[in-house]
A and B are shown apart, each in its own frame.
Chain A
Amino acid sequence: MQYIDEYRDSGRIKALAEAIEREALHPWQIMEICGGQTHTIAKYRLEEMLPPSVRLLHGPGCPVCVTPSSIIDFALEIARQSNVIFTSFGDMLRVPGSKADLLQTKARGADIRILYSPLDAVNLAAGNPDREVVFFAVGFETTAPVHLTALKEAERRGLKNFSLLCSLFAVPPAIEMLMNQEDNAIDGFLAAGHVCAVTGNSDYRVLTKKYHCPIVVTGFEPADLLYGIYLCIKQLESGRSELENAYKRAVPENGNPAARRLMDECLEAAGREWRGIGAIPESGFILRKKYAGFDASEKFGFLKNKKNLIIENADNQCIAGKIMKGAAAVSDCPFFGGLCSPEHPVGAPMVSDEGVCAAFFKYR
C-alpha cells in the first residue's frame, strides 16, 4: 500500500530505533496522547525496540474510552424509544453504561445500527421521515468536523428528524490537566497528528512555552512514531521545549481552516467529564444554541444545564484513569486479562481497539 508501506519499512524502522538509542543518554518518559498511536505501538511492539531508558506512557486519547457512562445511559434511554433509529460507529456499542451497553439494548429490540459515516445517518433520516434518527457523535477534534458536516447536510436538506448526541472532547485541556498533576512524570508529549491536521499547531506551541515541555506532532505508522520519539528525545537531551512537526505530510501549521470554521460556527467549548479521569473545564464541545434542533440532548431532554456536564459515579476500582494519566501501567491493574478482557470489559479502555488496555490485551 503506497503511503503506508514506506512507513512500515523494516530498514527505516531499524535505523530510527538505533538513532533513538544513540540520542537517549538519560531516562525519559514520553506520553503519546492518541489511542491510534497506542494501537500501533502495541501492534508493532515498538516499545521492545526502544532503549530501557525511554519509557512510553499511554495517554487518554481514545474518545470511546473517555465518554462517561452517564452519556451512554442517556444514549440507551434514547435508543429504547420506539420512534428512534439510534446510529453509531461500531466500537461504541460494547462500551458499558451503568447497567447495560448498546449491543445488549439492541438485542432487546432497540433499533440500533452501526454506520461507517454520519452522512449515512442523514440519508437514513431522509428515508425514514416518521422516525427520529440520532447519531452518536463521539470524538476529538479529528472527527468533530465529520459530524458537523452531517449536521449541515441535514440542515441543507431541511431534515427535522436528525440529531447528534455529542460526546466531543478537546486534546489541549487534557494535556494541561496532565501537566498540572501532582508528581507529573511526563517529560514530553507526542501530539495526535490527525487532531492537529484539523486544529493546527498553535495551541500546542502555547503549551510548550507554558509548561516547558516538548511536544512533537506525530503520525500513526511505526516509522512516524519512532521519528516523533526521536525528535522528542533530541529536544529533551538538548534542554529545548518546542513544538515540532514530525508529520508534515498530513499536518499544515494552521490545520484545516474549513474544518475549523465549521467547528467555530457550530460548537462552543464546555466542561466535560472524562471517564476514569474526572471533570476537566472547557475540555470538550457542545452544539451552539442555534443548532438546538439538531442536538439530541436538547431534543430528548438530557440535561437542563449543559455547562455543568455530568458528574460521573465512581465507576469501580478500575485503574484506567491512572493508566491514562501515565501514573500506572497496564500491568499494574489487578483486573487486566483476568476479570477485565474485551469480552467483559470492566473499564472503557478495554473496549475500543484504541483503548490502551484493549491494545495491550490484543497484542500481548
Chain B
Amino acid sequence: MDFSANCPLPFSASDRVLLGHGSGGRLSHQLISEIFYPAFANPLLEQDHDGCVFPVEKGRLACSTDSFVVNPVFFPGGNIGDLAVNGTVNDLACCGALPKYLTAGFILEEGLPLADLQKITLSMQEAALKAGVSIIAGDTKVVERGQCDRIFINTSGIGFVPDGVEIAPAKAAPGDAVICSGQIGTHGITILSARESLGFETALKSDTAPLNHLISRLLAEIPDIHVLRDPTRGGVATTLNEIARSANVGITLDEALLPIPEAVKAASEILGLEPLYIANEGLVLVILPENKAVKAVEIMRRFDEGRDAAVIGRIDSAGKAQVRLKTIYGGHRIISMLAGAQLPRIC
C-alpha cells in the first residue's frame, strides 16, 4: 500500500496577511524566511540579532528616514516598494552622501494578499540592487483591517559623505544656475490618474528612480555644487521656496524653459492643478555656479534619469527670499509655497 509522508494540509493555508504574521511567532518567522530573507538576502541582514552591526568608514555619515503611504499601492512605473527605496536613497544622495544601508519597517493591514507583499518586496530588492544599497534590518507589524491602508513602509538609510563634499540649501548664492534633472509632474499626475475615481487615463509613468549614481558622478566631476534637492511633495515650487528661505536669496524661473510634458500640462488644466506644485519622485534640482551649468547638464544627460536635464532658472538676488516666474509674455509673478494640499478648482 502506498503511503505519503506529506501532511495533507499545506503549512500556510492563507494567501493573505493575518494578524498572526505580526505576532512574532511562527507566522512571523514564516514571513521573514519565505518573503523578506529571500528577497533582501545579504550577510548583514542575516546576523539574527535584534539589530545589525556593521563597520563604518572614516569621515561623515548621513542619515535619513521617510515613510510611504501611497495610494494606490501599485501604479504605472512602480509601486510602494521601489518608491520607498528610491525615496530614501535620493534623500541621502541629495545630502551629498553615497547611500549604503537601508532599514525597512512594514505596517501591514490584515488581509493584504501575500502575493502583493511578495511583489512589493521584490521590487524593493530590485531598486536596492539598482541603487547599490543593502537592506540590513527590518520590522513588520500587522494591524487589524481598516486600521491602515493595505501597506505602509518606512525606510531609513545611512550613507557616507565623501571628503570635500559640502551640500547645503543655505549655500545657494546669487549667480547660481538652477538645473532640473528631468520632466516635471509625472509622478503626481500618474498617481492621480491611477486613482479609480478620476476616470481619466494618461500614458504617463511615475518617474520613481534612484538618483545616487547621477549625483555621485556630478559631484565627482563638479565638486563645488551648492545645493541638491529632490522636489517630492509640494513639487518644484515648494522645494525652491525652502531653498530661497534657507539661503535668503531670490530665485527666478523661466516659464519657457520648464520641462513639463504635454500630458502633465493637459491633466493639470483639467484638474485645476499647477505642475510646479505636483510631486516628483525621480527628480533632482541642482544649484551651482552658472559657469558650471553647461557641464552639469551634459553629465546629467548621460544618465537615463537625467536625459531631459535643463537649466530652468537662476538665483538673481540676495537679501529677500522669494521665488518668481518669468512668464512666457515677459511679466513676473511670485511662486509661493503651497498652502495646504493642492485642491482642484471648481470650474
Contacts and interface: CB of A to CB of B under 8 A. Distances in A.
Contact of A63 (B334, B336, B340, B347): B347
A352 B344 CA distance: 9
Contact of A116 (B197, B262, B269): B197
Interface in A2-27: 4, 8, 10, 13-14
B346 A8 contact: no
Given A4-B269, A117-B199, A343-B339, A48 B331 contact: yes
A91 B339 CA distance: 12
Contacts of B346: 63-64, 89-92, 138-139, 143, 352, 354
Interface string B93-113: 000000000000000000000
A38 B327 CA distance: 17
Nearest to B200: A116
Contacts of B269: 1, 4
B329 interface: yes
Contacts of B198: 116
A116 B339 CA distance: 20
A362 B347 CA distance: 18
A222 B329 contact: yes
A342 B339 contact: yes
Contacts of B199: 116-117, 120
Given A91-B344, A139-B346, A342-B339, A43 B271 contact: no
Nearest to A343: B339
Nearest to B270: A116
A140 B336 CA distance: 29
A354 B336 CA distance: 16
Interface string B333-347: 110100110011111
A36 B331 CA distance: 19
Contact of B336 (A103, A116, A362): A362
Given A1-B262, A45-B329, A343-B339, A90 B347 contact: no
A39 B273 CA distance: 12
Contacts of B340: 94, 103, 342-343
26 contacts: A1-B265, A13-B329, A14-B329, A43-B327, A43-B333, A44-B327, A45-B331, A49-B331, A63-B347, A64-B346, A89-B346, A91-B344, A92-B346, A116-B198, A120-B199, A139-B347, A142-B347, A143-B347, A222-B329, A343-B340, A352-B346, A353-B343, A354-B345, A361-B336, A363-B334, A364-B336
Contacts, number: 86
A116 B347 contact: no
Interface residues of A, number: 45
A93 interface: yes
Contacts of B332: 45
Nearest to A139: B347
Interface residues of B, number: 24
A275 interface: no
Interface of A: 1, 4, 8, 10, 13-14, 36, 39, 42-45, 48-49, 63-64, 89-94, 103, 114-117, 120, 138-140, 142-143, 194, 222, 341-343, 352-354, 361-364
B20 interface: no
A89 B344 CA distance: 7
A55 B233 CA distance: 38
B262 A194 contact: no
Given A10-B328, A45-B329, A361-B336, 13 more contacts: A39-B345, A43-B327, A45-B332, A45-B333, A91-B343, A91-B344, A116-B198, A138-B346, A342-B339, A354-B345, A363-B333, A364-B334, A364-B336
B270 to A, nearest CB: 9
A173 B269 CA distance: 30
Interface string B231-254: 000000000000000000000000
Contacts of A94: 340, 343
A166 to B, nearest CB: 14
Nearest to A8: B328
B341 to A, nearest CB: 8
Contacts of A363: 333-334
A-B pairs with the 5 shortest C-beta distances? A45-B331, A90-B343, A342-B339, A364-B334, A363-B333
Contacts of B345: 36, 39, 90-91, 352-354
A353 B272 contact: yes
Nearest to B266: A1
A120 B334 CA distance: 35
Nearest to B334: A364
Contacts of A342: 339-340
B343 A93 contact: yes
Contacts of A103: 340
B247 to A, nearest CB: 21
Given A91-B345, A143-B347, A44 B331 contact: yes
Nearest to B192: A116
Interface in B290-347: 327-329, 331-334, 336, 339-340, 343-347
A138 B331 CA distance: 34
A44 B343 contact: no
